[in-house]
């Protein structure tokens, strides 16, 4: 007996397949219109096909789970981050968008094409540039921004904490790297696989969303005995050493628990993205001693100043024989650690050409952090904003906050609980 028959939904599926066949369209829920009709059209039917995580796929991260992938997943070497503006007008259409994205996301994370070509007279359903690649540890993480709740009335489902971040000292935030109704974070060990995922998800949603801004990023991830180490940022320091580790710690810091948030967001997390330009030319004229004092860590080992191991305890109140602080009180780590809040950092470097007015690299950090409440970030950034030595070398140019849904169960779709009373 087929899976479809067991579930008692065969008739619906067969008729849907027949319809797809009759119209010459792929079977994965992605409808391709004749090119004269404008290429990719909306998907058919009210429902969606629940795809399976393929446990035999190589270099594969599971899509389904308690929390979304791409949060506590070890950082891959590439990101393509997209912030989208929603064009549809009703919550039903918005819900349909997430239904359409769900099976496509599973297939992409399996390293599969989103749909097979069944008719050569129409544009290929999958754009094809990831053909021949395995899953490359692709993760897709979906979130919704404060502006979405201005466009759609979700009543008291809107969490009070989901709002644009306040202005911090020295911020030079530009709208074209900021905000958005929906975000999709695609991370993979191959840049083109990450790009392909966003390209196809946006294509499926053609006419229903537009891209507001996007940013590609990269990391050098050193491997030791097959295990990924801490990546270095463009200042050459290991970035991500002091992060929550393990599910229990992540539940404390990263994933909202029931009683801490709206029910649709339990198991979800807030993503904060900051596009931070790093003034590499100034940094490269700075002595190593000064660079290390800026962070409070040694550059090569990543160890706290005065220690040797990357994971040695960072004791910010340690004093030398003269009674002076070993880790300077203006250093990045001292200030980040001197407040109670913690967060999970999962940042990527970027290089996006040249700044016209100065001829400098337009390069820096696509800082991404996950926390159960944006106030964790705000507390740390306020501490840094006032006197962080690193401020001489950076400018924050983009800012966005998104509530990332909890993980998806097979048969359900991304963000289902947000729409549950429709
Ligand atoms: C270009 C900007 C930034 C750079 C280059 C940078 C770099 C670093 C480095 C090298 C470390 C030490 C190693 C580690 O624990 O990962 C660190 C730690 C840390 N950073 Fe940043 N960072 C940046 C921005 C931020 C921002 C915007 C925040 C949050 C508001 C932040 C929060 C933290 C925290 C919480 C720690 C760990 C402190 C600890 O408990 O030891 N960083 N960062």
44-65 pLDDT, tens per residue?
A: 344 788 999 999 999 999 999 9
180 belongs to a structural domain: no
Q: Can you tell me which atom of ligand 1 is nearest the CA of 342?
A: 35
Cα 322 to Cα 305: distance, rounded to the nearest angstrom: 16
pLDDT of residue 11: 36
- Best mutation site among 166, 242, 249, 253 for ligand 1 pocket (most ligand atoms within 8 Å of CB): 242
Q: Residues with beta carbon inside 6 Å of ligand 1? A: 233, 235, 237-242, 274, 276, 278, 295, 297, 314, 332-333, 336-337, 343, 345, 364-365, 367, 377, 380-381, 384, 394
Number of structural domains found in the chain: 1
CB 393 within 8 A of CB 295: no
pLDDT of residue 36: 29
Please, which pLDDT band fits residue 401 given cuts at 50, 70 and 90?
Answer: very high
* Residue of 116 and 370 predicted with greater confidence: 370
139 belongs to a structural domain: no
305-350 pLDDT, tens per residue?
A: 999 999 999 999 999 999 999 999 999 999 999 999 999 999 999 9
332 belongs to a structural domain: yes
pLDDT of residue 49: 85
**Dihedral, CA of residue 289, residue 293, residue 295 and residue 298, to nearest 10:** 50
The residue whose CA has the least distance to atom 27 of ligand 1 is 381
68-109 pLDDT, tens per residue?
A: 999 999 999 999 999 999 999 999 999 999 999 999 999 999
**261 is written with which tokens?**
């948030």
pLDDT of residue 183: 98
pLDDT of residue 422: 56
3 belongs to a structural domain: no
Cα 292 to Cα 400: distance, rounded to the nearest angstrom: 29
295 belongs to a structural domain: yes
103 belongs to a structural domain: no
290 belongs to a structural domain: yes
Q: Which domain holds residue 357?
A: 278-400
Asked whether residue 176 carries a pLDDT value surpassing 50, the answer given is: yes
CB-CB neighbours of 421 under 10 Å: 10
> To which residue do tokens 């979405």 refer?
148
344 belongs to a structural domain: yes
């Amino acid at each position: 007996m087929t899976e479809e028959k067991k579930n008692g939904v065969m008739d619906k599926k067969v008729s849907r397949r027949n319809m797809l066949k009759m119209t010459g369209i792929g079977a994965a829920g992605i409808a391709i219109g004749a090119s004269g009709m404008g290429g990719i059209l909306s998907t058919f039917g009210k429902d969606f096909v629940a795809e399976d995580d393929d446990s035999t796929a190589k270099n594969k991260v599971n899509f389904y789970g308690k929390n979304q992938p791409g949060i506590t997943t070890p950082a891959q070497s590439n990101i393509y981050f997209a912030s989208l503006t929603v064009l549809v007008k009703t919550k039903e259409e918005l819900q349909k968008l997430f239904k359409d994205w769900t099976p496509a996301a599973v297939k992409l994370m399996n390293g599969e094409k989103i749909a097979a070509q069944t008719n050569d007279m129409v544009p290929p359903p999958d754009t094809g540039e990831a053909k021949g690649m395995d899953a490359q540890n692709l993760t897709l993480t979906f979130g919704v921004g404060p502006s979405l709740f201005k466009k759609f009335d979700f009543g008291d489902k809107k969490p009070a904490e989901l709002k644009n971040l306040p202005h911090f000292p020295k911020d030079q935030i530009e709208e074209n790297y900021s905000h958005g109704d929906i975000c999709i974070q695609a991370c993979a060990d191959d840049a083109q696989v990450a790009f392909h995922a966003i390209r196809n998800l946006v294509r499926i949603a053609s006419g229903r969303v537009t891209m507001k801004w996007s940013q590609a990023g990269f990391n050098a991830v050193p491997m030791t005995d097959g295990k990924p180490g801490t990546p270095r940022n463009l200042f050459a320091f290991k970035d991500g050493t002091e992060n929550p580790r393990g599910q229990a710690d992540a539940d404390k810091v990263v994933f909202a628990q029931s009683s801490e948030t709206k029910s649709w967001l339990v198991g979800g997390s807030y993503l904060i993205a900051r596009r931070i330009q790093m003034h590499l030319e100034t940094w490269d004229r700075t002595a190593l001693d000064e660079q290390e004092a800026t962070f409070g860590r040694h550059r090569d080992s990543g160890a706290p100043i005065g220690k040797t191991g990357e994971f040695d305890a960072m004791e910010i109140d340690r004093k030398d024989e003269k009674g002076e602080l070993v880790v300077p009180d203006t250093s990045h780590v001292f200030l980040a650690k001197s407040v109670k809040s913690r967060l999970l950092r999962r940042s990527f470097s970027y290089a996006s050409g040249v700044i016209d007015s100065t001829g400098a690299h337009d390069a820096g950090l696509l800082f991404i952090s996950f926390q159960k409440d944006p106030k964790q970030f705000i507390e740390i950034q306020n501490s840094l904003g006032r006197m962080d030595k690193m401020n001489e070398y950076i400018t924050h140019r983009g800012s966005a906050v998104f509530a990332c849904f909890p993980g998806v169960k097979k048969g359900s779709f991304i963000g289902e609980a947000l729409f549950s009373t429709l």
